[in-house]
Structure 1
Amino acid sequence: MTNLITMNNLVHPKTLMAIKDLSLAAKKTVDGFMSGINKSNVKGTGLEFSQYRSYQPGDDLRWLDWKMYARSDRYYIRESEMETSISVRFLIDASRSMLHEDSGISKMDYAKYLAAALAYLAHSQGDAIGLYVFKEGGLFSLASRKDAQHLTRFFYRLQHIQPEGKFTDAVHYRHIFTGGQKKELLVFITDMYEQDKEITKLLGALSSLGHDMTVFHLAGNNELKFDFGNYAAVQDLETGEKISINARETRKIYEERLQQYLSSVRMSLLDKHIFYRLVNMAEPLDKSLRDFLTQRQKSFI
């Protein structure tokens, strides 16, 4: 079936990031996305709630479907939400390379708004959400919970992330993600920039724990298209190293090596049973939201 979700429903990243309130931006993004799904009448895993039943005294009012009430004047419970809540932990790369910009949008800003939208969507489905920020010198963690106040704390901590230094040697924090009997979904948002395989090692360690994992690999359109305007050199944000560029001479080599790199990253993660999505920051968040819902549903299989 043709996907009818359009830019009328989805906010362009540059417009979205003009909304400084993360919670408001997240709500606007998810509402537009869900409206698009309804209009396209898409069927499939994780995209809609197919099981409803009449409200019974004692049911949790959070699971009332008010849209169904408006259409039928009867109270219905979204039963699938009640039965499938999980813990979703958001892992954010806050190394200095996340300051890379394209069209005025940094990877860090895009990561914040993407995480905010995904967390809002997860929380609306009754999931517990947690936040883990990786940067040089340590790891900030906000354990998973599902109450409304926790969502506010999540947005506050997310809003105040400041990228610093290199990606931490995070394998030492593997124990934080062990324990607990229920399967979890780990969502890692990163630019996959590493100097000594530190991100690859972390993902390998986490995949061995048995949780479902999704990696959203952020890339600027200028990186993907080798479009750096009239600049004669680019600078590594983490090491300070400058690299001269000549668009005419290096474009073909760059494109070939980029495709080889992206293919190797994808295959490496698939070998670890990690879902991988390359995210072009020039595009709306709909693909990422769909992928998240699909992976969330798979956590119960």
Structure 2
Amino acid sequence: MSTVSAAREQAGDSGVIDYSLRWRAQGVYPGSHRGAGGAAAGLFRALVPFERAPDMRRLDLRRSMRDPYGQWYVKEYQPRLSVQVYALVDVSASMAWRDDNRSKLDVAGQFCDLLARAAHRNGDSFGLYACGGDILEEISLPSNRNRAVVSDIVSRLRTLLPTADSAAALETAAEYLQGPRKLVFLFSDFLFPEQQTERILAAISSHDVIPVVLEDYSVADLPNWGFTELADLETGQRRFAIVRSSLKQRWLQESEHRRVRQDALFARYVNRPFRVGRTLDIESLNTYLLER
């Protein structure tokens, strides 16, 4: 059975996500990820000359006695360490858009809950910052291993009615992520200007960043012909419009062009994005996390 198939069988159907790292963790707390450097415990990696890792406790007498040049050898291990996992969540007003009675923010909250559970299972710490015009301190949490506290913050996020007129704090949140490399999930519909997206990505690109795009189906759901009222959730402005098939197709083409430009922007700074449709597809998510 392939690695992807095994992950689907183990995680996809049970609502469990499994993230993996392509880099070696740094830190002092034990965990489940490959760490940088050598250690006295962990997974056996190799036998190396004593001069490279002078530690008599790891001396391998059998290998040393067999060396024709009298070289002493020690066992080198690869440490297993934990990492800090963070969620940066856009809580601007556009995240209140609902489809099938679920807002984008509720879907992001569901994702964060599964992510926090995965971090707890892996021995990692989890932190969350709710980002509007400023960081909402009452719905934010620095890296933490207390499962009850994390669950409370995620529950508050899922019930929040977002009203902020911007997501500027996604950029300033980079100041809270200083230090060793972290795994960062960036949640947004990314409907703000592309220049702002680029600034956000540049600010946090030193970390392993996974953009999670909450798709917007408001245009696709419009009729091919009819009358409708359009609302800008960020500004609250509304206007009456007559929808025609040609106008709808032009809007859909503009959305597709924007999507292509966004994908190129993500690829330049961080990972390719994971796009969430009308529901969170756990199987597709686990496949993405394994293959990214």
Question: After TM superposition, is the score higher than 0.5?
Answer: yes
Report what 1:38 is aligned to: none
Counterpart residue type for residue 29 of structure 1: G
Instruction: Tell me, in whole angstroms, the C-alpha distance in 2 between the residues paired with 1:263 and 1:196.
Output: 12
Contact kept? 1:218, 1:278, Cα under 8 Å: yes
Instruction: Tell me, in whole angstroms, the C-alpha distance in 2 between the residues paired with 1:136 and 1:273.
Output: 23
The question of 1:152 aligning with 2:130 is answered no
1:285/1:222 CA distance change after superposition, 3 Å: farther
Q: Which moved more, 1:186-195 or 1:165-174?
A: 165-174
Q: Which of 171, 176, 182 is residue 184 of structure 1 equivalent to? A: 182
Instruction: State the Cα deviation string for residues 38-67 of structure 1 (Å, max 9, x = none).
Output: xxxxxxx949xxxxxxxxxxxx9x99xxxx
Where structure 2 has 5 or more consecutive residues not aligned to the other structure, the ranges are: 22-29, 33-41, 44-78
Contact kept? 2:184, 2:209, Cα under 8 Å: yes
Contact kept? 1:168, 1:198, Cα under 8 Å: no
The question of 1:228 aligning with 2:222 is answered yes
Instruction: State the Cα deviation string for residues 230-289 of structure 1 (Å, max 9, x = none).
Output: 661321111123352514121321222111100100101110133312211245333234
Q: Which moved more, 1:210-219 or 1:134-143?
A: 134-143
Q: In terms of Rg, which structure is larger?
A: 2
Contact kept? 2:112, 2:154, Cα under 8 Å: no
Contact kept? 1:118, 1:289, Cα under 8 Å: no
Contact kept? 2:228, 2:242, Cα under 8 Å: yes
Report what 1:112 is aligned to: 109
Contact kept? 1:91, 1:186, Cα under 8 Å: yes
Counterpart residue type for residue 115 of structure 1: C
Report what 2:164 is aligned to: 165
Instruction: State the Cα deviation string for residues 75-112 of structure 1 (Å, max 9, x = none).
Output: xxx98xx8242110111110000011112221111111
Contact kept? 2:89, 2:129, Cα under 8 Å: yes
Report what 1:86 is aligned to: 83
Report what 1:39 is aligned to: none
Give secondary structure in 2 for the equivalent of 1:166. Answer: coil
Counterpart residue type for residue 147 of structure 2: A
Contact kept? 1:97, 1:238, Cα under 8 Å: yes
Superposed displacement of residue 164, structure 1: 1.8
Report what 1:134 is aligned to: 131
The question of 1:202 aligning with 2:229 is answered no
Where structure 1 has 5 or more consecutive residues not aligned to the other structure, the ranges are: 11-27, 35-44, 48-59, 64-77, 296-301
Superposed displacement of residue 160, structure 1: 4.5
Instruction: Tell me, in whole angstroms, the C-alpha distance in 1 between the residues paired with 2:272 and 2:199.
Output: 16
- Equivalenced residue count is 230
Give secondary structure in 2 for the equivalent of 1:120. Answer: helix
Give secondary structure in 2 for the equivalent of 1:136. Answer: coil
> What pairs with 1:10-25 in structure 2 (closer than 5 Å)?
10=13
Instruction: Tell me, in whole angstroms, the C-alpha distance in 2 between the residues paired with 1:173 and 1:46.
Output: 24
The question of 1:242 aligning with 2:238 is answered yes
Contact kept? 2:194, 2:262, Cα under 8 Å: no
Q: How large is the Cα RMSD of the aligned pairs?
A: 3.3
Report what 2:278 is aligned to: 281
1:97/1:205 CA distance change after superposition, 3 Å: same
Of Structure 1 and Structure 2, the greater helix share is in 1
Contact kept? 2:97, 2:104, Cα under 8 Å: yes
Of Structure 1 and Structure 2, the greater strand share is in 2
Counterpart residue type for residue 291 of structure 1: Y
1:289/1:256 CA distance change after superposition, 3 Å: same
Give secondary structure in 1 for the equivalent of 2:15. Answer: helix
Superposed displacement of residue 135, structure 1: 1.1
1:110/1:91 CA distance change after superposition, 3 Å: same
Contact kept? 2:215, 2:275, Cα under 8 Å: yes
Instruction: Tell me, in whole angstroms, the C-alpha distance in 1 between the residues paired with 2:280 and 2:173.
Output: 33
Counterpart residue type for residue 147 of structure 1: N
Instruction: Tell me, in whole angstroms, the C-alpha distance in 1 between the residues paired with 2:198 and 2:176.
Output: 18
Report what 1:96 is aligned to: 93
Give secondary structure in 2 for the equivalent of 1:286. Answer: helix
Give secondary structure in 2 for the equivalent of 1:216. Answer: strand
Identity of matched residues, %: 21
Instruction: State the Cα deviation string for residues 145-184 of structure 1 (Å, max 9, x = none).
Output: 2233443344344344331222242234432111x2x321
Q: Which moved more, 1:99-108 or 1:86-95?
A: 99-108
Instruction: Tell me, in whole angstroms, the C-alpha distance in 2 between the residues paired with 1:198 and 1:245.
Output: 31
